[in-house]
Amino acid sequence: MTKLIIASVVEIHMSERQDISDAKKMRSGVNVEAEVIGKGEPRTVNLKTGGTVDVCDATISNGDKTEENQMKLTLWGDDIKAVNVGDTVVIDNGYTNEFKGEVSLTKGKFGKMTVNP
């Protein structure tokens, strides 16, 4: 019975979507649905574990598309080709990082991204 209750609570939590203005204040467990309004060029970065991976920054927005309702979405590897301007993306259990005062969202290792659900 306990497992069922915990699973129900997790499912309810995962289905709640945040506004980007609220997601910027979070560190983990970020659940956002937003439109891709911009996408940069991919670049290759070196991994701490060795090797390289392609990375690309997209801009997502939900709400009125003001700066407060926009944030950077960092796309890694195969996700770069899966996302285009105009697409709707849903990130479940993502996390944020802040670099040089700018907050960016990524799905991370344990998150999930759905394109045009």
In terms of Cα–Cα distance, which of 81, 89, 115, 94 is closest to 35? 89
In terms of Cα–Cα distance, which of 60, 62, 106, 102 is closest to 85? 60
pLDDT tens string 65-99 = 788 899 999 999 999 999 999 999 999 999 999 98
Enumerate domains of the chain plus CATH numbers.
17-115 (2.40.50.140)
Q: What is the pLDDT of residue 72?
A: 97
pLDDT tens string 35-50 = 999 999 999 999 999 9
**Residues 74/93, Cβ–Cβ less than 8 Å:** no
pLDDT tens string 25-36 = 999 999 999 999
